[in-house]
Amino acid sequence: MAHSPKITLVPGDITEQHVDAIVNAANSSLLGGGGVDGAIHRRGGPEILAECRALRAGHYGGGLPTGRAVATTAGRLPARWVVHTVGPVWSRDEDRSELLASCYRESLRIAAELGARTVAFPAVSAGVYGWPMEDAARIAVETVRSTQSAVEEVRFVLFDERAYRAFAEQVHSS
């Protein structure tokens, strides 16, 4: 039965999480980058990139659009799958919140299709893509809370103290 997943917060590194699926804050090329994307490919090994390349050669020739998600193996990581999603670059002039919410909804949809029950997310768009952390945390928590899913647990894995505090504030204040 579908409910809204239980939310947990964990400080640390998403590549170390023993969950069914971890979400990667990728870019539309799917071919790697810095931040959490770099860490996932480094720790997960070349199998992940090989599947990403195959996706680019096939269905995603033009890249993965912002707000969408796609899964690959997790290679050597302790998870079973990596769900790659592309967050929006933060803009002062344009409200792109719906695209960021879509990253969480689409990642949960893809994870549930695979049969994942536990899914770990980083703070998508809140690093290189410049999204203010408090607002990124609000959108992440609100979106998961308003999504019905077969996924039972969403674990936000927060890499630094500031991110952890922002997510804790959202979870406990609303």
Binding to ligand AR6 by CB under 6 A, coded x per residue (else -) over 30-59, reads: ---xxxxx-x--------------------
81 forms beta bridges with 21, 73
Q: Which of residues 83-142 bind ligand AR6 (CB under 6 A)?
A: 87, 122-129
DSSP-assigned letters across all residues of 3-60:
BPPEEEEEES-GGG--SSEEEEEE-TT-S--SHHHHHHHHHH-HHHHHHHHHHHHTTT
Q: Is 37 a catalytic residue?
A: yes
Among the listed residues 59, 139, 137, 54, the one whose alpha carbon sits nearest the alpha carbon of residue 95: 139
CB of 44 to ligand AR6, least distance (A): 11
Q: Candidates 48, 64, 157, 166: give the one binding ligand AR6 (CB under 6 A).
A: 157
Q: Which of residues 13-32 bind ligand AR6 (CB under 6 A)?
A: 13-15, 25-27
Instruction: Answer yes or no whether residue 65 interacts with ligand AR6 by CB under 6 A.
Output: no
